[in-house]
Amino acid sequence: MPTLRSFKYIFILFISMLLTGPFTSMAQEQADSVATDTTLSRHDSVAVIKRDSTKHQLTIGVDIFHPIMNAFTADRSGYELCADYYMRHDVYFKAEAGWGASNVNYSDLKYATTNSFARIGLDRAIVPRENLKDWDMMFIGIRLAFAPIHRSPASFTVLDSVWGNSTGSLSGKDFLGYWFELVGGMRVEIAHGLFAGWAIRGKFLLDGADFRQLAPLYVAGYGSGDKNVVFDFNFYFSYAIRWKPRHYPIIPKPK
């Protein structure tokens, strides 16, 4: 079973991979800007430096996979929303949130849980854009997530054919769950500003101490509460809001 230390190294590796590309591109952009400024000073005229002409994009979406699965699992439910912002150079800041519940109703054990969750992280496109109007993407990413969880009082029955059955109960509890995720997927613009896409997630529980006494049957945003590693799938529809950056004239200094 992977340890918390190995998860830490994986996290550092992915963050480095996601961020190295943007910094490299920014350095090249600064070098090009210096070269342009030198040319302008020679001509001693007013000019406009063409900045990064990529449009800004904010995308808001909803997962439809889990609501469909809710129809086939009466004992659990989950709902997810997502948003991302294009940060330049194929990197997107991602924020996701949702809520859900589960219900254990066995003959010898009864309790319920409810929770909300939030995830933040980065996605990086692994295929370069063909042009400024191309927003289709295949991506890899990483998330850090937490979920406030409420577990109701639980009642249980211990079956014993020799001494007879006995019953008991556990008081309700509120606690936090933490995990991180490795994500991969793709999305395609099927109409102007409208996207469809999917993501596959590997999720790794970081602190399961509160899950050991009586694990939640299901934690929305994570999965089965009795597992340290789970895999999940999302299918999203999302809509993009775009706006153009401003360009400012740069007047070269007099000689």
C-beta separation of 151 from 214 below 8 A? yes
Dihedral (C-alpha) 212, 115, 155, 215: value to the nearest 10 degrees?
-20
Which pLDDT belongs to residue 160? Answer: 72
Q: Is the dihedral of CA 144, 150, 153, 154 positive or negative?
A: negative
Tens digit of pLDDT at every position of the chain (255 positions): 445 444 444 555 555 555 445 444 444 444 444 444 444 444 443 333 344 456 799 999 999 999 999 999 989 999 999 999 999 889 999 999 999 999 999 888 999 999 999 999 999 999 988 888 899 999 999 999 999 999 999 998 887 777 767 888 889 999 999 999 999 999 999 999 999 999 999 999 998 788 888 889 999 999 999 999 999 999 999 999 998 877 656 666 666
Rounded CA-CA distance 174/65 in Å is 28
Rounded CA-CA distance 123/91 in Å is 6
Q: Is residue 255 part of a domain?
A: no
Which pLDDT belongs to residue 164? Answer: 67
Q: Is residue 115 part of a domain?
A: yes
Residue-range definition of the domain harbouring residue 41:
4-250
- Tell the burial category of 24 from Cβ atoms under 10 Å away from its Cβ (0-12, 13-18, 19+): exposed
Neighbours of 133 (CB within 10 A): 9
Which pLDDT belongs to residue 247? Answer: 61
Neighbours of 122 (CB within 10 A): 22
Token duo for residue 219: 């934690």
pTM (predicted TM-score): 0.75
What's 106's domain CATH number? 2.40.160.20
Rounded CA-CA distance 79/62 in Å is 8
Rounded CA-CA distance 120/80 in Å is 13
Which pLDDT belongs to residue 40? Answer: 42
**Number of domains, the chain:** 1
Q: Is residue 233 part of a domain?
A: yes
